[in-house]
Structure 1
Amino acid sequence: MIVNTPTMLVRTLCSLIAMAATTVVAADFAALPKTATLETDSPQIIALGKKLFFDPRLSATGTVSCNSCHNLMEGGDDGRATSMGVDGLTGGRNSPTVWNAVFQSSQFWDGRAKDLAEQAKGPFVADVEMGMGVHDQVVGRIQQIPDYVREFDNVFGQGNAVTIDNAVTAIAAFERTLITPNAPLDHYLAGDKNALTDAQVRGMDLFQSTGCTECHFGPALNGWDPGDDEAVFVEFPRNLDSSFVRKYDLDSDRGRAEATQQESDAHQFKTPVLRNITLTAPYMHNGNVASLAEACRVMASTQLDTDLSEDEISDLVAFMESLVGEFPPITLPRLPSRSGTSVVVEFK
């Protein structure tokens, strides 16, 4: 016979409460996968993609590479409100981090690229980014460097291997290695309840209770789950009465509508990855918000119509510090060269 003493009842109740809390956490968050490579991502194609990612000669002036706006030595962005491309030109949107970009169902703030390879095509011919007139000019630059041609042949097979599609396929293969697992939150989700500080636990609870997880859930806290290929967009800003809308010019960019020309897509944006968010200031699609604490105030007001106390803001920032994972070692590649002759001047 089992006798339920008051002590046993208290312990049972505490156990049930703990189980319920764990269930809530598990429903909103998940550990970041430790690998994202495909079976076709051989060491050779990854190495080629890495070289192309770091090579500034694929820009019109020979000064801008993928890494210029997505600095892998830092947060995978460039720390600017909007990135600077060739000839000092700047665009209208903040550079999203390339770290963990693979864990998204679309790319760019407006989701106009379906995957990493398609995204990699865009900057080559964007006049405010790498500034090449057409993709054939990018291919021509690569073809002028014999070691690149041999490497493309080795990876993709002999004969006309240097194509823009093969180039971005290689870049995407490299970018799939750019993931940062084993953050404190991942250890917490795996059962190590000492992995988070008290402030981080309070921040995590607040993140859930205030409604942040309506959009920011899943392994990357961007509304994506493994196997989810459907692009999802969120209205931003929602609360047009918020003083932050005018202060930070949050509603002049029409978001996805600028790509689709559909009025129904006006002010729809992809939910950004929150992994390593403490390393990617400034914030918002236009980079107008300088600090993470202020970004929390902005999002609470514009999206949730909520004002948070300074203690709550501090706890939220503490929680987001638990999202910084382990960065894989990155060594700069040796880029193939063409002895005695520049390839950059040929397409000026």
Structure 2
Amino acid sequence: MKLRQSLGLLAGLTLGMGLGTAAVADADMARYKQFFEPLPAIAPIPADNSQTAVKVELGKMLFFEPRISASGVISCATCHNPALGFTDRIPRAVGHMGQVGERNTPTVLNAAFLGSQFWDGRAATLEEQALGPIEADIEMAMPLEQAVQRLREFDVYQEMFAEVFGSDDAIHADNVALSLAAFQRTLITPNSPLDRYLAGDEKALSDQQVRGMRAFVDRGCVACHRGPALSDSQFHRIQVPGSTDLGRYLVTGEEQDKFAFRTPTLRNVALTYPYFNNGNVSSLAEAIRIMAREMLNTELPDNEVEDMKAFMHALTGDMPQFAIPALP
């Protein structure tokens, strides 16, 4: 009888300890989860650029429209290819007449959640960013006046701009920017494994991905890679292999901004290789090692690199679904 009671007591203690361990584990993971935010389903919409279905459709057409480039063959989608994570997967962008740019093409996925645009942050908003590539000599090389005039040659654009902006004479550069920005705000990638995990699906992440998330926090990566886009939108000094780019300094002229670049989003980072401002690193594992070395002053062990890499694969969300437009 005493033996049976002792065994029952031991079983009860074991069960209690198990529940206690589970509770401790849940509390521990809650501490890690607090550093991350699910990606919202809708991007912030500015008061001066309301989002309408026809404006988004117009912006989509302009995004794929090559005739607003000097050559007539380059569009926004040339470098921001939907099939390639809205990048081009080459080290540095190739533009007008085969010119090679100075920097790697950043993805426009979830760009609406960033506090500034371009590697050097020279544009604060999607609206400010939209026209730059059109008139840049090394990209689309089309003066804005000529781009606008080309659009005016098509009845469908005349009709769509008039419907969106309420005027028969609505094809202007500012409205082109508003339309492009409206479309880009729809390029959101929700429902990643991390998002599902944060929403309560404990099986959304593998054990290795959970270890990678813990390492990501413990090592301090979240100091810069935080918020819904996993970017603080701030500028940090880093010199990656082969780069002589002065970065933010070219915008501000401030000595402290030499070699400083805006923190890139880590959303969909497994799809948006090669990495860094010059695109010289094609391996995600190597990019992790370089970041640890340059920003954390540490060499990560191989197993931790692999865990973080697995975690970053959990940042790939559902790609935007839309039909490629038939252009006039």
Same fold (TM over 0.5): yes
Partner of 1:284: 276
Partner secondary structure for residue 236 of structure 2: strand
Question: Is the CA contact 2:32–2:214 (under 8 Å) kept in the aligned structure 1?
Answer: no
- Pairing partner for 1:116 from 97, 118, 126: 126
Give yes or no for the alignment of 1:30 onto 2:30: no
Question: Is the CA contact 1:37–1:177 (under 8 Å) kept in the aligned structure 2?
Answer: no
- Which amino acid in 1 is paired with 2:37? A
Question: Is the CA contact 1:278–1:321 (under 8 Å) kept in the aligned structure 2?
Answer: yes
Partner of 2:242: 249
Partner of 2:209: 200
Partner secondary structure for residue 102 of structure 1: helix
Query: What fraction of aligned residue pairs are identical, expressed as a percent?
Result: 46
Partner of 1:297: 289
Give yes or no for the alignment of 1:95 onto 2:105: yes
Partner of 2:51: 41
Give yes or no for the alignment of 1:19 onto 2:19: no
How far apart, CA to CA, are the structure 2 residues paired with 1:266 and 1:139? Answer: 36
- Which amino acid in 1 is paired with 2:279? G
Give yes or no for the alignment of 1:80 onto 2:124: no
Partner of 1:182: 191
Structure 1 position 195, deviation (Å): 0.6
Question: Is the CA contact 2:152–2:171 (under 8 Å) kept in the aligned structure 1?
Answer: yes
- Which amino acid in 1 is paired with 2:236? V
Question: Is the CA contact 2:44–2:113 (under 8 Å) kept in the aligned structure 1?
Answer: no
How far apart, CA to CA, are the structure 2 residues paired with 1:261 and 1:141? Answer: 37
Partner of 1:242: none
Distance 1:203 1:317, change over 3 A: same
Number of aligned pairs?
313
- Pairing partner for 1:131 from 141, 144, 160: 141
Partner of 2:7: none
- Which amino acid in 2 is paired with 1:249? G
Which runs of no fewer than 5 residues in structure 2 stay unpaired? 1-11
Question: Is the CA contact 2:44–2:112 (under 8 Å) kept in the aligned structure 1?
Answer: no
- Which amino acid in 2 is paired with 1:263? E
Give yes or no for the alignment of 1:326 onto 2:312: no
How far apart, CA to CA, are the structure 2 residues paired with 1:146 and 1:207? Answer: 53
Question: Is the CA contact 2:158–2:171 (under 8 Å) kept in the aligned structure 1?
Answer: yes
How far apart, CA to CA, are the structure 2 residues paired with 1:331 and 1:218? Answer: 30
Partner secondary structure for residue 277 of structure 1: coil
Q: Which moved more, 1:308-317 or 1:165-174?
A: 308-317
Structure 1 position 21, deviation (Å): 2.6
Give yes or no for the alignment of 1:262 onto 2:251: no
TM-score normalised by L of structure 2: 0.91
Larger radius of gyration: 2
Question: Is the CA contact 1:296–1:313 (under 8 Å) kept in the aligned structure 2?
Answer: yes
How far apart, CA to CA, are the structure 2 residues paired with 1:307 and 1:25? Answer: 25
Question: Is the CA contact 1:98–1:175 (under 8 Å) kept in the aligned structure 2?
Answer: yes
Structure 1 position 159, deviation (Å): 3.5
How far apart, CA to CA, are the structure 1 residues paired with 2:32 and 2:210? Answer: 13
Give yes or no for the alignment of 1:221 onto 2:202: no
Distance 1:98 1:193, change over 3 A: same
Which runs of no fewer than 5 residues in structure 1 stay unpaired? 224-230, 238-244, 337-348
Question: Is the CA contact 2:133–2:139 (under 8 Å) kept in the aligned structure 1?
Answer: yes
Deviation >6 Å, runs of 4+: none
- Which amino acid in 2 is paired with 1:201? V
- Which amino acid in 2 is paired with 1:181? P
- Pairing partner for 1:52 from 62, 65, 72: 62
Structure 1 position 259, deviation (Å): 1.6
Partner secondary structure for residue 278 of structure 1: coil
Structure 1 position 276, deviation (Å): 0.6
Question: Is the CA contact 2:208–2:311 (under 8 Å) kept in the aligned structure 1?
Answer: yes
Partner secondary structure for residue 179 of structure 2: helix
CA RMSD of superposed structures (Å): 1.6
Structure 1 position 200, deviation (Å): 0.6
Partner secondary structure for residue 190 of structure 2: coil
Partner of 1:158: 167
Question: Is the CA contact 1:37–1:173 (under 8 Å) kept in the aligned structure 2?
Answer: no
Deviations 1:171-206 (A, max 9, x none): 100011100000000011111111101111111111
Structure 1 position 47, deviation (Å): 0.4
